[in-house]
Amino acid sequence: MTHGHLPVSGLPQGTLDLPYIEIQGQKDGPRLTVLAGVHGCEYAGMTALREFLAEVDPSTLNGTITAVPVVNIPAYMSRTPFVVPVDGKNLNRCFPGDPNGSYSDVLAHHVFERFIRAADYVIDLHSGDVPEAIEPVVIYDESPVSEDARRIALAYGTRHVIRQPASGRVTSGTTSSAAADAGIPAITAEAGGNGIIDRQAVAVHVRGLRNVAAALGMLPHEVESTAGQIEHDQGWNWIGSPVGGWWQPSAELGKPVAKDEVLGQVSDLFGDVTHEVKAPEAGIPMIITTSPAVAAEGLLMVLTREVSE
Protein backbone atom coordinates (compact mmCIF):
# COMPACT_ATOMS: atom_id res chain seq x y z
CA MET A 1 0.00 0.00 0.00
CA THR A 2 1.45 3.34 -1.09
CA HIS A 3 0.56 6.68 0.45
CA GLY A 4 1.04 9.58 -1.93
CA HIS A 5 0.22 13.24 -2.43
CA LEU A 6 -0.91 14.79 -5.69
CA PRO A 7 0.32 18.40 -5.89
CA VAL A 8 -2.60 20.42 -7.26
CA SER A 9 -0.92 23.48 -8.74
CA GLY A 10 -2.36 26.55 -10.41
CA LEU A 11 -4.77 27.31 -7.58
CA PRO A 12 -5.47 30.92 -6.56
CA GLN A 13 -4.20 30.13 -3.05
CA GLY A 14 -1.11 28.11 -3.95
CA THR A 15 -0.57 24.37 -4.24
CA LEU A 16 -2.82 21.82 -2.51
CA ASP A 17 -1.36 18.43 -1.58
CA LEU A 18 -4.14 15.91 -2.16
CA PRO A 19 -3.60 12.60 -0.29
CA TYR A 20 -4.24 9.34 -2.12
CA ILE A 21 -3.67 5.63 -1.52
CA GLU A 22 -2.65 3.08 -4.10
CA ILE A 23 -2.73 -0.69 -3.63
CA GLN A 24 -0.97 -2.71 -6.29
CA GLY A 25 -1.99 -6.35 -6.58
CA GLN A 26 0.44 -9.18 -7.30
CA LYS A 27 -1.39 -10.04 -10.53
CA ASP A 28 -2.56 -7.94 -13.44
CA GLY A 29 -6.14 -6.75 -13.48
CA PRO A 30 -8.34 -3.66 -13.80
CA ARG A 31 -7.37 -0.22 -12.57
CA LEU A 32 -10.13 0.88 -10.19
CA THR A 33 -10.33 4.44 -8.88
CA VAL A 34 -12.49 5.13 -5.83
CA LEU A 35 -13.21 8.71 -4.79
CA ALA A 36 -14.80 10.02 -1.60
CA GLY A 37 -15.37 13.45 -0.15
CA VAL A 38 -16.14 15.27 -3.39
CA HIS A 39 -18.60 16.99 -1.06
CA GLY A 40 -16.89 17.82 2.20
CA CYS A 41 -19.55 16.79 4.73
CA GLU A 42 -20.65 13.45 3.25
CA TYR A 43 -18.92 11.28 5.82
CA ALA A 44 -20.48 7.86 5.30
CA GLY A 45 -18.70 7.37 1.98
CA MET A 46 -15.39 8.61 3.38
CA THR A 47 -15.66 6.24 6.33
CA ALA A 48 -16.55 3.30 4.12
CA LEU A 49 -13.55 3.88 1.86
CA ARG A 50 -11.19 3.90 4.86
CA GLU A 51 -12.68 0.66 6.15
CA PHE A 52 -12.65 -1.05 2.75
CA LEU A 53 -9.01 -0.18 2.09
CA ALA A 54 -8.01 -1.48 5.51
CA GLU A 55 -9.33 -4.94 4.63
CA VAL A 56 -7.75 -5.24 1.16
CA ASP A 57 -4.95 -7.81 1.09
CA PRO A 58 -2.54 -6.96 -1.75
CA SER A 59 -1.58 -10.62 -2.03
CA THR A 60 -5.13 -11.48 -3.15
CA LEU A 61 -5.67 -8.38 -5.31
CA ASN A 62 -5.67 -8.55 -9.10
CA GLY A 63 -5.02 -5.13 -10.55
CA THR A 64 -4.72 -1.76 -8.83
CA ILE A 65 -6.97 0.22 -6.50
CA THR A 66 -6.33 3.96 -6.35
CA ALA A 67 -8.32 5.80 -3.71
CA VAL A 68 -8.72 9.46 -2.77
CA PRO A 69 -10.15 9.51 0.79
CA VAL A 70 -11.20 13.19 0.65
CA VAL A 71 -11.22 15.04 -2.67
CA ASN A 72 -12.68 18.35 -1.51
CA ILE A 73 -10.14 19.18 1.21
CA PRO A 74 -11.21 22.84 1.65
CA ALA A 75 -14.86 21.89 2.24
CA TYR A 76 -13.88 19.00 4.53
CA MET A 77 -11.63 21.16 6.70
CA SER A 78 -14.17 24.00 6.95
CA ARG A 79 -17.20 21.67 7.28
CA THR A 80 -18.82 23.36 4.30
CA PRO A 81 -21.68 21.40 2.69
CA PHE A 82 -22.14 21.07 -1.08
CA VAL A 83 -19.60 23.60 -2.36
CA VAL A 84 -15.92 24.49 -2.34
CA PRO A 85 -15.74 27.44 0.10
CA VAL A 86 -13.01 29.21 -1.87
CA ASP A 87 -15.24 29.97 -4.88
CA GLY A 88 -18.70 28.73 -3.89
CA LYS A 89 -18.91 26.18 -6.71
CA ASN A 90 -20.29 22.65 -6.45
CA LEU A 91 -17.20 20.57 -7.27
CA ASN A 92 -19.39 17.78 -8.62
CA ARG A 93 -20.62 20.07 -11.40
CA CYS A 94 -17.09 21.06 -12.52
CA PHE A 95 -15.64 17.88 -14.05
CA PRO A 96 -13.59 17.32 -16.18
CA GLY A 97 -12.36 20.68 -14.96
CA ASP A 98 -10.41 23.56 -16.41
CA PRO A 99 -6.74 24.29 -15.61
CA ASN A 100 -7.40 27.98 -16.29
CA GLY A 101 -10.60 28.24 -14.26
CA SER A 102 -11.38 29.04 -10.64
CA TYR A 103 -10.32 26.93 -7.66
CA SER A 104 -12.97 24.22 -8.16
CA ASP A 105 -12.30 23.98 -11.89
CA VAL A 106 -8.55 23.55 -11.36
CA LEU A 107 -9.06 20.94 -8.61
CA ALA A 108 -11.51 19.01 -10.80
CA HIS A 109 -9.01 19.12 -13.69
CA HIS A 110 -6.19 17.61 -11.63
CA VAL A 111 -8.43 14.94 -10.10
CA PHE A 112 -9.83 14.01 -13.48
CA GLU A 113 -6.46 13.81 -15.25
CA ARG A 114 -4.66 11.91 -12.49
CA PHE A 115 -7.30 9.64 -11.03
CA ILE A 116 -10.19 9.30 -13.51
CA ARG A 117 -8.66 9.35 -16.97
CA ALA A 118 -6.10 6.70 -16.01
CA ALA A 119 -8.74 4.30 -14.63
CA ASP A 120 -10.60 1.39 -16.19
CA TYR A 121 -13.50 1.87 -13.75
CA VAL A 122 -14.47 4.67 -11.36
CA ILE A 123 -16.63 4.68 -8.23
CA ASP A 124 -17.52 7.97 -6.54
CA LEU A 125 -18.88 7.56 -2.99
CA HIS A 126 -21.49 10.03 -1.76
CA SER A 127 -24.14 10.39 0.93
CA GLY A 128 -26.67 13.01 1.85
CA ASP A 129 -25.01 16.25 2.90
CA VAL A 130 -25.90 18.10 6.11
CA PRO A 131 -29.51 19.06 5.22
CA GLU A 132 -30.60 15.98 3.26
CA ALA A 133 -31.42 12.29 3.54
CA ILE A 134 -30.90 9.76 0.75
CA GLU A 135 -32.35 6.39 -0.15
CA PRO A 136 -29.39 4.12 -1.08
CA VAL A 137 -29.02 4.39 -4.85
CA VAL A 138 -26.42 4.07 -7.60
CA ILE A 139 -26.40 6.36 -10.64
CA TYR A 140 -24.67 5.93 -13.98
CA ASP A 141 -24.86 7.79 -17.29
CA GLU A 142 -26.08 6.61 -20.66
CA SER A 143 -23.00 6.44 -22.89
CA PRO A 144 -21.08 4.08 -25.19
CA VAL A 145 -19.80 2.35 -22.03
CA SER A 146 -23.25 2.11 -20.40
CA GLU A 147 -23.31 -1.67 -20.21
CA ASP A 148 -20.04 -1.85 -18.29
CA ALA A 149 -21.24 0.92 -15.99
CA ARG A 150 -24.59 -0.82 -15.52
CA ARG A 151 -22.80 -4.05 -14.60
CA ILE A 152 -20.91 -2.47 -11.71
CA ALA A 153 -23.94 -0.37 -10.74
CA LEU A 154 -26.03 -3.51 -10.26
CA ALA A 155 -23.15 -5.29 -8.54
CA TYR A 156 -22.94 -2.50 -5.97
CA GLY A 157 -26.15 -3.89 -4.58
CA THR A 158 -28.46 -1.00 -3.78
CA ARG A 159 -32.14 -1.65 -4.40
CA HIS A 160 -32.41 1.32 -6.76
CA VAL A 161 -30.21 1.94 -9.81
CA ILE A 162 -30.75 5.04 -11.98
CA ARG A 163 -29.49 5.52 -15.52
CA GLN A 164 -29.25 9.18 -16.46
CA PRO A 165 -30.14 9.64 -20.14
CA ALA A 166 -27.53 11.31 -22.31
CA SER A 167 -30.06 13.81 -23.65
CA GLY A 168 -31.17 16.40 -21.14
CA ARG A 169 -28.89 15.46 -18.26
CA VAL A 170 -30.26 16.83 -15.02
CA THR A 171 -26.81 16.72 -13.45
CA SER A 172 -23.75 17.35 -15.60
CA GLY A 173 -20.14 17.96 -14.70
CA THR A 174 -20.15 15.09 -12.23
CA THR A 175 -17.27 12.67 -11.85
CA SER A 176 -19.28 9.82 -13.34
CA SER A 177 -20.74 11.81 -16.26
CA ALA A 178 -17.32 13.22 -17.18
CA ALA A 179 -15.84 9.72 -16.97
CA ALA A 180 -18.60 8.35 -19.19
CA ASP A 181 -17.90 11.07 -21.76
CA ALA A 182 -14.26 9.94 -21.75
CA GLY A 183 -15.25 6.30 -22.31
CA ILE A 184 -14.65 5.16 -18.73
CA PRO A 185 -17.40 3.16 -16.94
CA ALA A 186 -18.25 4.98 -13.73
CA ILE A 187 -20.89 5.06 -11.03
CA THR A 188 -21.95 7.41 -8.27
CA ALA A 189 -23.02 5.50 -5.16
CA GLU A 190 -25.19 7.24 -2.55
CA ALA A 191 -26.09 6.08 0.97
CA GLY A 192 -26.60 7.89 4.26
CA GLY A 193 -27.28 11.53 4.98
CA ASN A 194 -27.48 14.53 7.29
CA GLY A 195 -23.73 14.84 7.65
CA ILE A 196 -23.37 11.94 10.08
CA ILE A 197 -21.50 8.65 10.06
CA ASP A 198 -24.48 6.33 9.78
CA ARG A 199 -23.22 2.79 10.33
CA GLN A 200 -25.94 1.27 8.16
CA ALA A 201 -24.97 3.55 5.28
CA VAL A 202 -21.28 2.78 5.79
CA ALA A 203 -22.12 -0.93 5.58
CA VAL A 204 -23.98 -0.35 2.29
CA HIS A 205 -20.89 1.30 0.82
CA VAL A 206 -18.39 -1.27 2.13
CA ARG A 207 -20.53 -4.11 0.80
CA GLY A 208 -20.86 -2.30 -2.52
CA LEU A 209 -17.11 -1.82 -2.87
CA ARG A 210 -16.49 -5.49 -2.08
CA ASN A 211 -19.14 -6.51 -4.60
CA VAL A 212 -17.72 -4.41 -7.43
CA ALA A 213 -14.16 -5.58 -6.74
CA ALA A 214 -15.42 -9.17 -6.81
CA ALA A 215 -17.48 -8.64 -9.97
CA LEU A 216 -14.38 -7.24 -11.71
CA GLY A 217 -12.31 -10.23 -10.62
CA MET A 218 -10.08 -8.07 -8.44
CA LEU A 219 -10.76 -9.63 -5.03
CA PRO A 220 -11.82 -13.16 -4.05
CA HIS A 221 -15.16 -12.17 -2.51
CA GLU A 222 -18.54 -13.56 -3.47
CA VAL A 223 -20.84 -10.98 -5.01
CA GLU A 224 -23.76 -10.61 -2.61
CA SER A 225 -26.89 -10.42 -4.72
CA THR A 226 -29.75 -8.07 -3.91
CA ALA A 227 -33.27 -9.30 -4.46
CA GLY A 228 -35.77 -7.03 -6.16
CA GLN A 229 -33.40 -4.47 -7.60
CA ILE A 230 -35.23 -1.76 -9.55
CA GLU A 231 -33.68 -0.09 -12.59
CA HIS A 232 -34.91 3.39 -13.45
CA ASP A 233 -33.97 4.09 -17.06
CA GLN A 234 -35.50 7.55 -17.42
CA GLY A 235 -33.33 9.41 -14.94
CA TRP A 236 -34.77 11.56 -12.18
CA ASN A 237 -36.71 14.74 -11.39
CA TRP A 238 -35.11 17.42 -9.24
CA ILE A 239 -37.82 19.44 -7.53
CA GLY A 240 -37.11 22.92 -6.19
CA SER A 241 -39.14 25.54 -4.39
CA PRO A 242 -40.20 28.73 -6.19
CA VAL A 243 -40.27 30.52 -2.82
CA GLY A 244 -38.17 30.51 0.30
CA GLY A 245 -39.54 29.64 3.72
CA TRP A 246 -40.19 26.65 5.97
CA TRP A 247 -40.23 23.27 4.19
CA GLN A 248 -42.30 20.41 5.57
CA PRO A 249 -42.13 17.20 3.48
CA SER A 250 -44.96 14.67 3.60
CA ALA A 251 -43.52 12.07 1.19
CA GLU A 252 -41.14 9.40 2.48
CA LEU A 253 -37.85 8.10 1.15
CA GLY A 254 -38.28 5.02 -1.04
CA LYS A 255 -42.10 5.13 -0.96
CA PRO A 256 -43.65 5.56 -4.45
CA VAL A 257 -45.75 8.65 -5.16
CA ALA A 258 -48.27 9.23 -7.94
CA LYS A 259 -48.40 12.12 -10.38
CA ASP A 260 -49.83 15.25 -8.72
CA GLU A 261 -49.52 13.71 -5.26
CA VAL A 262 -48.67 16.30 -2.60
CA LEU A 263 -45.03 15.93 -1.56
CA GLY A 264 -45.00 18.64 1.08
CA GLN A 265 -45.60 22.31 1.75
CA VAL A 266 -43.59 25.49 2.05
CA SER A 267 -44.90 28.07 4.51
CA ASP A 268 -43.75 31.49 5.63
CA LEU A 269 -42.35 32.07 9.09
CA PHE A 270 -45.82 32.91 10.35
CA GLY A 271 -46.92 29.39 9.44
CA ASP A 272 -49.07 30.33 6.43
CA VAL A 273 -48.69 27.95 3.47
CA THR A 274 -47.20 29.74 0.47
CA HIS A 275 -46.58 26.81 -1.85
CA GLU A 276 -47.86 23.25 -2.13
CA VAL A 277 -45.38 20.89 -3.76
CA LYS A 278 -46.80 18.21 -6.06
CA ALA A 279 -45.13 15.38 -7.96
CA PRO A 280 -44.73 16.34 -11.64
CA GLU A 281 -45.04 12.64 -12.48
CA ALA A 282 -44.92 9.27 -10.76
CA GLY A 283 -41.67 8.43 -9.00
CA ILE A 284 -39.90 7.30 -5.86
CA PRO A 285 -38.21 9.83 -3.55
CA MET A 286 -34.44 9.28 -3.56
CA ILE A 287 -33.40 12.52 -1.86
CA ILE A 288 -35.38 14.63 0.59
CA THR A 289 -34.22 17.92 2.06
CA THR A 290 -34.61 17.41 5.81
CA SER A 291 -33.88 20.96 6.90
CA PRO A 292 -36.97 23.18 7.14
CA ALA A 293 -34.95 26.18 5.96
CA VAL A 294 -35.21 26.48 2.19
CA ALA A 295 -34.32 29.33 -0.15
CA ALA A 296 -36.11 30.22 -3.37
CA GLU A 297 -35.00 27.70 -6.05
CA GLY A 298 -33.61 25.48 -3.29
CA LEU A 299 -33.77 21.72 -3.72
CA LEU A 300 -36.65 20.00 -1.93
CA MET A 301 -36.74 16.47 -3.30
CA VAL A 302 -35.44 14.19 -6.04
CA LEU A 303 -37.76 11.59 -7.59
CA THR A 304 -37.01 8.75 -9.96
CA ARG A 305 -38.80 9.07 -13.30
CA GLU A 306 -41.19 6.21 -13.86
CA VAL A 307 -42.53 7.34 -17.25
CA SER A 308 -40.80 8.16 -20.52
CA GLU A 309 -41.16 11.48 -22.25
Task: Give the pLDDT mean for 237-265.
Answer: 96
CA-CA distance, 29 to 120, in Å (whole number)?
A: 10
* Confidence tier at 1 by pLDDT (50, 70, 90): confident
pLDDT class for 243, splitting at 50, 70, 90?
Answer: very high
Q: What local confidence, expressed as pLDDT, does residue 309 receive?
A: 47
290, 293, 296, 298: CA torsion to nearest 10: -30
Helix (H) or strand (E) holding 152: helix 146-156
Q: Is the pLDDT of residue 12 over 90?
A: no
Burial of 55 (0-12, 13-18, 19+ CB in 10 A): exposed
Parse the chain into domains and list their residue ranges: 2-232, 236-304
What average pLDDT does range 133-156 have in this prediction?
A: 97
Comparing CA positions, the residue from 39, 206, 10, 218 lying closest to residue 113 is 10
User: Other C-beta atoms within 10 Å of 255: how many?
Assistant: 9
CATH code matching the domain that covers 2-232, chosen among 3.40.630.10, 3.30.70.270, 3.30.750.24, 3.30.450.20? 3.40.630.10
As a whole number, the mean pLDDT across the chain is 96
Query: Residue 200 region, left (φ>0) first, then alpha (ψ -120 to 50), else beta?
Result: alpha
Q: Which fold has domain 236-304?
A: OB fold (Dihydrolipoamide Acetyltransferase, E2P) (2.40.50)
**Per-residue confidence (pLDDT) for residue 169, from 0 to 100:** 83
